[in-house]
């Protein structure tokens, strides 16, 4: 069942290896040799679950291994945390030849990738994502970042890893809430690229929730292939890669306004997708039948579809204006026009966004 997908960009080419029980098998790291140095970056929960097996993988190569356990959660995705990594690297005399290893979910992956991109002007790094969201999305494609109090992912870089190791067995340790948050990104791919995949998700809800091996493998392999294709075509998000931000303009605003960590990223993305769909319907770009299908699928995967009733629309709008897709104070957003196709809609009016947010808070379906 093992699958290797190649990610190609103008400057980089690296594999994504996908299988169950990968930590129990010998993993080949072609760029590492005996005597090299690595530092594993993880959090306490992941450390207790997987550190020993990952340590053994690298110890068998004969590497010098250090590690750091970071505090867990989106609120710690900051420059302060990145500096903790730098301090540990410097104290242990790691130089430009070292390799960082991101062992964890999206937060650990983003922090580690960003640290690797700027430590001594750039060192190698490995992604070992342990959540569904990070396996299908954030570990792939080289987007790295930390948050600022005034906006999510505002400080970052495009910096590709050297390899991505996706151990599907990690999904057995996730809570239902964490799994559902990852499915939000999966649903996002289907709305953007593939109507048949959307239908497949409708027909395999129970099997995905029960982690049927064949269905999980197909699902993650499908998402990784879609991500690989778009990264190859537009590594630096100058055009088509921006389509992957469906729902994210609102999601980042929701996370910033509620406080990082109150909602999981995928939960905010789910509501963001609904808001984008409502806007698209109001602009007569998306029919009401597809809006209902999108909302129903999100609900079936136990994801939120409505904003908290007490959220302040004007404060949310202020966060939206800080989004990276806003240029010259023009809000550019991704809108679905049908299931399987989205567009970049330029310079949408503030009034339409406010109306859509208010409509979402009062959704009747």
- The residues assigned a catalytic role are 121, 143, 185, 227, 237, 241, 245, 248, 252, 265
3-state per-residue secondary structure call for 249-264:
HHHHHHHHHHCCCCCC
* Three-class secondary structure of residue 307 per DSSP: coil
Binning the chain into helix, strand and coil, the percentages to the nearest 5 are 50, 20, 30
Q: Are 274 and 290 in contact (CB under 8 A)?
A: no
The sign of the dihedral angle between the CA atoms of 145, 146, 148, 151 is: positive
Helix (H, G, I), strand (E, B) or coil at 169: helix
d(CA 202, CA 222): 15
Distance CA(153)–CA(77), nearest Å, equals 9
| Residue 316 structure tokens | 């949310």
* Rounded distance between C-alpha atoms, residue 147 and residue 154, angstroms: 6
Helix or strand holding residue 82 (H, E): helix 79-91
Distances (CA, A) of 128 to 24, 27, 46, 140, 154: 14, 12, 11, 10, 23
Tokens 């909302």 -> residue: 295
At 310, give phi and psi (nearest 5°). -95, 5
Please list, in sequence order, all residues whose beta carbon lies within 8 angstroms of the beta carbon of residue 262, skipping any fewer than 6 positions away.
255
Among 304, 254, 312, 236, smallest CA distance to 74 is for: 254
């Amino acid at each position: 069942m093992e699958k290797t997908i190649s990610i190609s960009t103008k400057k980089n080419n690296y594999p994504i290896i996908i299988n169950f029980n990968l930590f129990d098998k010998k993993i080949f790291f072609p760029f590492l040799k005996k005597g090299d140095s690595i530092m594993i970056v993880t959090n306490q929960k992941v450390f207790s679950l997987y550190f020993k097996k990952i340590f053994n993988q690298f110890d068998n190569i004969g590497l010098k291994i250090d590690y750091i356990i970071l505090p867990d959660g989106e609120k710690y995705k900051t420059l302060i945390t990145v500096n903790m990594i730098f301090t540990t690297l410097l104290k242990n005399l790691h130089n430009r030849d070292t390799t960082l290893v991101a062992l964890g979910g999206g937060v650990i992956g983003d922090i580690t990738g960003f640290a690797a991109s700027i430590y001594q002007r750039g060192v190698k790094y490995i992604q070992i994502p342990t959540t569904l969201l990070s396996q299908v999305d954030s570990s792939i494609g080289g987007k790295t970042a930390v948050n600022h109090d005034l906006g999510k992912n505002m400080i970052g870089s495009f910096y590709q890893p050297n390899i991505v190791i996706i151990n599907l067995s990690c999904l057995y340790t996730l809570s239902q809430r964490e799994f559902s948050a990852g499915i939000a990104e999966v649903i996002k791919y289907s709305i953007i690229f593939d109507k048949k995949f959307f239908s497949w998700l409708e027909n395999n809800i129970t099997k995905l929730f029960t982690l049927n091996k064949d269905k999980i493998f197909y699902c993650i392999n499908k998402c990784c292939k879609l991500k690989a294709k778009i990264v190859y075509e537009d590594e630096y998000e100058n055009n088509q890669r921006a389509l992957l931000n469906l729902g994210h303009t609102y999601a980042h605003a929701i996370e910033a306004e509620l406080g990082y960590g109150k909602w999981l990223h995928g939960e905010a993305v789910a509501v963001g997708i609904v808001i984008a769909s409502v806007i698209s319907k109001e602009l007569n770009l998306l029919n009401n039948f597809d809006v209902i299908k999108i909302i129903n699928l999100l609900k079936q995967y136990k994801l939120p579809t409505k904003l908290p009733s007490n959220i302040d629309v004007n404060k949310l709008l202020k966060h939206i204006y800080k989004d990276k897709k806003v240029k010259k104070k023009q809000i550019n957003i991704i809108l679905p026009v049908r299931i399987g196709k989205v567009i970049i809609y330029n310079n949408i009016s503030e009034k339409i966004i406010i109306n859509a947010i208010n409509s979402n808070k009062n959704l009747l379906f």
